[in-house]
Chains A and B, each alone.
Chain A
Amino acid sequence: MHLNEQTNSRPWRIRPDGQAKVTGELRYLTDMTSPGKLIGRVLRSGVPHARLLSVDTSKAKELPGVVSVLTSKDVPGLNGFGIAEPNQPVFCEDLIRYEGDAIAAVAAETNEIAERALELIEFEYEELPVLDTPEKALSSDAPLLHAEGNILHETSYSKGDVQKAFNLCHAIVEETYETPRQMHAFMETEGGIFVPEKHGKLTVYSPTQHGYKDQMQLARILGIPADDIRVVSSPIGGSFGGKDELNVQPFGALLALSSGKPVKMHYSRKESVIAGLKRHPMKVRMKSGVNQKGKLIAHQVEIISDTGAYATLGGPVLNFATEHAIGCYIIPHIELKGKAVYTNNGISGEFRGFGGNQVIFALEGQMDRLAEKINVDPWELRSRNLRTLHDLGPLGQRVLPNDGPSQVWEAIQETPLYKKTEHPPSVDEPWIVTGKGMSLAMHGSGLGYGIPDPAGGQIRLNEQGKIEVAFGHEEFGQGLLGTLEIMLLDHFNCDVEDLEIIIGDTALVPPSGSSTASRTTNMVWRALQNMKRPFLDKLFFKVNELTGEPVEQLQTGKNGIWKEAKQGEGREFVLTFQELAASCTEPLKCSTEFDFPVTPDPVIGGHYLYGSTSVIAEVEVNMLTGMIRVTGIDHVVAAGEVVNPLGYLGQIEGGSIMALGFTIIEDALMENGNYVTKNFDTYLVPTIADVPEIQHVEAVEELPEGDVHGPRGVGEIGSVALAPAIVSAIKQATGKWVTKLPVNPETILNVWDEPFPMDKEERKKGRERV
């Protein structure tokens, strides 16, 4: 299905939250206020590595207008958080491990007073050597950042005999690839309002990708039952993984409970940069070899990820990277090792693509270089090595039959950009050279084997006579509300006015697991599949009871229940949803609980469901500056049925633009453990002027026979494979292979001695060559 043009066969619906968002009318949680609220602020260490000797808050406490000043001594429960491993202290106790580490927090009547109070807090420390690279952190004499050492997590996988296999290779490529510290750059920075309730309870209005997880983590910190905390978590002004982990919540919650007053917190962009998560910078060394026929026979990989000061999801990200460093290729001999290394840099964590983007850049780079080395078309080389329908997964685990990689391999050859013919450099601008490149990837959905991955939902006819669904998922811009609306309209043939969708509030919704890992669309689809029949049975049984109409002839429709059409007659209206609801003493409801489908084989982090994508990119390289302009991108995505065409297109375009930034401009620079790029004036994200005018998106919807798992999420897949395609296009334009992202214009510029063939004859020759 070509997604760029509206067709009548599919629902082409504007997202329900769209207008309020573009007009700025929508109130995010960080726009909320409360009478008598205090302002909460956090004192950061400002130094990347030091022994904390003392903290003196006495002067701050004396300042008029200051209500509460907290340090590590004031945490009633666990002084720590982290989704996978709670090793990040809410407040530092004795060791400062990064410049964003919290020393203390203040609640005061105004922001100015809070700021002054932070200045009055005195803390003494003794600086320690800064471990600002994984290499330094891994050296034998490095000080330990955590009791267990400087390695958060290690992965390994091997099969066959790589060393022997390399000896038999016809061609081998060995290269080290480096990727940047990308920032999520969400529009709304971290924040929220924290309201103490009666009997020591608390309501938290703060964005997150998993309200119930925040509730659990906060209960652990506050030392109160989880049920005493209500988390309201949507709508969210962007997250991309960056608000999956706790951020302001521990401080806001502690300050609200200690002061007894509502506390508002909202990070400045600068504080968000310093304290917030980033994408893991990775160094990926790959050695890959093929035989005479161009079949991959040996693949050796070493991944080093800079996970920063604390764990959060650094371990699972490395697991994901490990699996995707093999991806959709069939290789008999593999040796793979990964290390997530603690450093004194900013914390790395969850980010759209979850470690896939980094290794796919490396893996696809290897395929292109191998093809060049043995003089085979790079797309042909991929074809010779792609998995087929019933092959095992990358880590040898059983997976759902999947031939997505072949489907996208094929379909990309029908895209406009693939078919576009090349043109020689123009006479007017002989310094502009162009190239095209392609790449391919398979991307796992769900959290993977070994990580609890529950899902669920609830449906009922509520008191107002609306079909109400409730999910513990979040809306952070990805379009959940729009997609849910389309699914519900499809199931119940009713009006939008007959629906009520409830998300993002632990007081109102059942646990549904996290809104991450391209799992949400799939999970709400399955939940509705599970609940539809029993829910309709309940409705129709009740209608039958009330009206005597036969159950088997009833159906839902606009405004209420209808009786199906007899031959020659129209269908007949039976009663409204409101009438039905009014006649029930209790709402008619159903719920479901299940787990994300997972491989039966005990391979930690291994996936069972995958989406696939291929992408083609066209670039212009300016020989005057070495700068890259991406002038065209076309995508093919195989992820099952397209439920919401506009949402799907938005996810692929958006993911792709994020990947464009990752490839050519985005990098949160750090020097000696301190951020250099502290705001959007130096940390650059693409603007509309940096992206191609159109990205064609083709969705391959056919799933293998017997695949009943429905539509896969596409929240990440648009972002995973673009970098290697751009780098391949740059190679075609310049002859230069890039190994480090973002592409440094200086390395490109150094390809040439002169900015364009300044001699007329040379120019002519250049054009003739093309």
Chain B
Amino acid sequence: MITNEKVWRPDNLHDAWILSSKLSDQCCFVSGGTWLRTQWEAGTKEMAPHLISLDKVPEVKEDISLKGQLGQEEVVIGASTTLAEMITNPTLNEKAPVLVKACKNIAGPSIRNQGTIGGNILSCVGDAIPALIVLNAKLMWFNGDELVYQSIEEWLLNQDEVRDILVSIHIPTDKSKGEHYEFAFYTKVGRRESFIPSLVTVAGTGCYRKGEGIFSHVSLSVGGGNVVPIRLPNTEVKIINNEYSSELLYNVLRQVQQDYKPIDDAFGSAAYKRKVAGNLIVSELYRIGGSNHALE
């Protein structure tokens, strides 16, 4: 049998970009390949005749590190960092534990040893995405000429055709939110306890001034299934600068129902996913704001 299939391994971003432009729809970037293989096996995606590996490109392999000056620091993660590496990285555990939690909830250990953060993002439905949204993560792309930044939220709104190369992920660790109690949560619900695609995933960050019981700087995101995760700005508005109360919980529950529009699939109806998303978010607010419930 004669085949023209080939695996390419360029050693710099320029060559990689030229190669992918030339081969166009005949090629596909592969890193861990865990999700691609699942789709190839299921027959939901054709295997491209040309596969491009970026395992020789230094920029995408960059180790997780803390960069920038005090007050404007960011954690930089090379796109080909594996999920397992993220989970064990001390910097990430200190600066963005919610992202670590997200990674721990993806698939099983063998998959996390191969699957990368870049691949998770480029799937557009990866379980790390809601955490990255609420962390205000930025993506750095190589567009053939230069490196450009884009917020992940913005990219998700127009991710139809990716031609650029995802190089790294940047997470600001700025403390301008103040001295107040800072919270972050991430919850994924699937049809079983582990090694399971998400039905609904929610993530959130924000501040809660304990003495006054007031929320501020709240970011919320929801995703799951084949839905591209979104941010929930209208729900955030219902929380920001408001005091924790059962009324607030009811308002949030109602608002999520309006803001989140998942789709039916074989394993869960849209109505179910919407309801679960709202429930998960109010349960997290209860954990944060209902803290004097210990006295009940």
Task: Please list the residues of chain A having a beta carbon within 8 angstroms of any beta carbon in chain B.
Answer: 65, 110, 112-113, 116, 268, 270, 427-428, 430-431, 623-627, 629, 665, 669, 671, 676-679, 681-682, 684, 686-687, 689-690, 745-746, 749, 754-756, 758-760, 763-764
Q: Which of B278-293 contact A (CB under 8 A)?
A: 278-280, 282-283, 286-287, 293
B267 in contact with A682 (CB, 8 Å): yes
- B193 interface residue per 8 A CB criterion: yes
Residues of B within 8 A of A669 (CB): 266
| Residue of A746, A755, A759 contacting most chain B CB atoms (<10 Å) | A755
Q: How far is the CA of A678 from the CA of B296 in the complex (A)?
A: 49
| Residue of B197, B279, B294 contacting most chain A CB atoms (<10 Å) | B279
**Which B-chain residue is minimally distant from A757 (CB atoms)?**
B246
- B41 interface residue per 8 A CB criterion: yes
State how many angstroms separate the Cβ of B106 from the closest Cβ of chain A: 13
B286 in contact with A758 (CB, 8 Å): yes
A665 in contact with B192 (CB, 8 Å): yes
Q: How far is the CA of A86 from the CA of B152 in the complex (A)?
A: 59
Q: Is the interface of B mostly helix, strand, loop or mixed?
A: helix
- B70 interface residue per 8 A CB criterion: no
Q: With A625-B189, A758-B246 given, is the CB distance from A764 to B42 under 8 Å?
A: no
B195 in contact with A754 (CB, 8 Å): no
State how many angstroms separate the Cβ of A274 from the closest Cβ of chain B: 12
Q: With A427-B294, A759-B246 given, is the CB distance from A624 to B193 under 8 Å?
A: no
**Which A-chain residue is minimally distant from B295 (CB atoms)?**
A427
Partner of A625, one of B38, B250, B267, B279: B279
**Given A624-B283, A625-B189, 15 new contacts (CB under 8 A):** A65-B1, A268-B41, A270-B41, A431-B283, A624-B276, A625-B280, A626-B276, A669-B266, A690-B194, A746-B269, A746-B271, A756-B283, A756-B286, A759-B246, A764-B296
State how many angstroms separate the Cβ of A193 from the closest Cβ of chain B: 23
Q: With A270-B41, A679-B42, A746-B272 given, is the CB distance from A690 to B192 under 8 Å?
A: yes
Residues of B within 8 A of A745 (CB): 191, 268, 272
Contact mask for chain B residues 178-217; partner A; CB cutoff 8 A; 1 contact, 0 none: 0000000000010111111100100000000000000000
- B13 interface residue per 8 A CB criterion: no
| Residue of A113, A629, A687 contacting most chain B CB atoms (<10 Å) | A687
Q: Which 8 A-B pairs have the closest CB atoms?
A: A755-B279, A689-B193, A624-B279, A689-B194, A746-B272, A758-B246, A758-B249, A759-B246
State how many angstroms separate the Cβ of A750 from the closest Cβ of chain B: 8
- B275 interface residue per 8 A CB criterion: yes
State how many angstroms separate the Cβ of A752 from the closest Cβ of chain B: 9
A-B contact pairs, 11 of them (CB 8 A): A427-B294, A624-B276, A624-B279, A625-B276, A681-B197, A682-B266, A687-B192, A745-B272, A749-B275, A758-B246, A764-B296
Residues of A within 8 A of B275 (CB): 749
- B253 interface residue per 8 A CB criterion: yes
Q: How far is the CA of A604 from the CA of B3 in the complex (A)?
A: 59
A754 in contact with B192 (CB, 8 Å): no
Q: How far is the CA of A749 from the CA of B279 in the complex (A)?
A: 10
B189 in contact with A755 (CB, 8 Å): no
Residues of A within 8 A of B253 (CB): 754-755
Q: With A113-B1, A689-B193, A746-B268 given, is the CB distance from A755 to B42 under 8 Å?
A: no
Q: With A624-B276, A669-B266, A687-B193 given, is the CB distance from A755 to B1 under 8 Å?
A: no
Partner of B191, one of A684, A689, A756, A760: A684
Partner of B296, one of A116, A676, A682, A760: A760
A755 in contact with B246 (CB, 8 Å): no
Q: How far is the CA of A665 from the CA of B271 in the complex (A)?
A: 20
**Which B-chain residue is minimally distant from A664 (CB atoms)?**
B192
Q: How far is the CA of A287 from the CA of B101 in the complex (A)?
A: 50
Q: How far is the CA of A298 from the CA of B37 in the complex (A)?
A: 56
Partner of A629, one of B193, B195, B282: B193
Q: How far is the CA of A677 from the CA of B265 in the complex (A)?
A: 12
A755 in contact with B197 (CB, 8 Å): no
Residues of B within 8 A of A270 (CB): 41-42
State how many angstroms separate the Cβ of B75 from the closest Cβ of chain A: 29
Residues of B within 8 A of A764 (CB): 296
Q: How far is the CA of A270 from the CA of B43 in the complex (A)?
A: 10
B282 in contact with A665 (CB, 8 Å): no
Q: How far is the CA of A554 from the CA of B30 in the complex (A)?
A: 72
Q: How far is the CA of A116 from the CA of B189 in the complex (A)?
A: 41
A749 in contact with B276 (CB, 8 Å): yes
State how many angstroms separate the Cβ of A24 from the closest Cβ of chain B: 14
Q: How far is the CA of A746 from the CA of B196 in the complex (A)?
A: 18
Q: How far is the CA of A681 from the CA of B267 in the complex (A)?
A: 12
Q: How far is the CA of A758 from the CA of B283 in the complex (A)?
A: 9
Residues of A within 8 A of B278 (CB): 755
**Which A-chain residue is minimally distant from B275 (CB atoms)?**
A749
State how many angstroms separate the Cβ of B49 from the closest Cβ of chain A: 15
| Residue of B192, B272, B278 contacting most chain A CB atoms (<10 Å) | B192
Q: How far is the CA of A347 from the CA of B279 in the complex (A)?
A: 40
Q: How far is the CA of A760 from the CA of B286 in the complex (A)?
A: 11
Residues of B within 8 A of A116 (CB): 1
**Which B-chain residue is minimally distant from A627 (CB atoms)?**
B189
Q: How far is the CA of A57 from the CA of B14 in the complex (A)?
A: 49
**Which A-chain residue is minimally distant from B187 (CB atoms)?**
A624
Q: Which of B213-230 contact A (CB under 8 A)?
A: none
Residues of A within 8 A of B196 (CB): 684
A428 in contact with B287 (CB, 8 Å): yes
State how many angstroms separate the Cβ of A66 from the closest Cβ of chain B: 12
**Which B-chain residue is minimally distant from A427 (CB atoms)?**
B293
Q: How far is the CA of A684 from the CA of B269 in the complex (A)?
A: 18
A763 in contact with B296 (CB, 8 Å): yes
A681 in contact with B38 (CB, 8 Å): yes
A749 in contact with B272 (CB, 8 Å): yes
A687 in contact with B194 (CB, 8 Å): yes
State how many angstroms separate the Cβ of B203 from the closest Cβ of chain A: 15
Partner of A755, one of B38, B41, B193, B283: B283
**Which A-chain residue is minimally distant from B284 (CB atoms)?**
A624
Partner of A689, one of B192, B267, B271, B280: B192
B266 in contact with A676 (CB, 8 Å): yes
Residues of A within 8 A of B249 (CB): 758
Residues of B within 8 A of A671 (CB): 266
State how many angstroms separate the Cβ of B171 from the closest Cβ of chain A: 28
B195 in contact with A687 (CB, 8 Å): yes
Q: How far is the CA of A499 from the CA of B18 in the complex (A)?
A: 69
Residues of B within 8 A of A110 (CB): 1
Q: How far is the CA of A430 from the CA of B283 in the complex (A)?
A: 9
State how many angstroms separate the Cβ of A631 from the closest Cβ of chain B: 12
Contact mask for chain B residues 31-71; partner A; CB cutoff 8 A; 1 contact, 0 none: 00000001001100000000000000000000000000000
Residues of A within 8 A of B283 (CB): 431, 624, 755-756
A760 in contact with B246 (CB, 8 Å): yes
Q: With A113-B1, A760-B293 given, is the CB distance from A686 to B282 under 8 Å?
A: no
Partner of A679, one of B41, B191, B200, B280: B41
Residues of B within 8 A of A268 (CB): 41
**Which A-chain residue is minimally distant from B38 (CB atoms)?**
A681
Residues of B within 8 A of A627 (CB): 189
**Which A-chain residue is minimally distant from B273 (CB atoms)?**
A746
Q: How far is the CA of A682 from the CA of B196 in the complex (A)?
A: 8
A758 in contact with B282 (CB, 8 Å): yes
Residues of B within 8 A of A759 (CB): 246
Q: How far is the CA of A758 from the CA of B194 in the complex (A)?
A: 28
State how many angstroms separate the Cβ of B7 from the closest Cβ of chain A: 17
Q: How far is the CA of A126 from the CA of B272 in the complex (A)?
A: 39
Q: How far is the CA of A759 from the CA of B189 in the complex (A)?
A: 25
| Residue of A625, A629, A687, A760 contacting most chain B CB atoms (<10 Å) | A625
Residues of A within 8 A of B294 (CB): 427
Q: How far is the CA of A756 from the CA of B282 in the complex (A)?
A: 10
State how many angstroms separate the Cβ of B191 from the closest Cβ of chain A: 6
State how many angstroms separate the Cβ of A22 from the closest Cβ of chain B: 17
**Which B-chain residue is minimally distant from A669 (CB atoms)?**
B266
**Which A-chain residue is minimally distant from B253 (CB atoms)?**
A754
State how many angstroms separate the Cβ of B213 from the closest Cβ of chain A: 13
Partner of B193, one of A112, A431, A690: A690
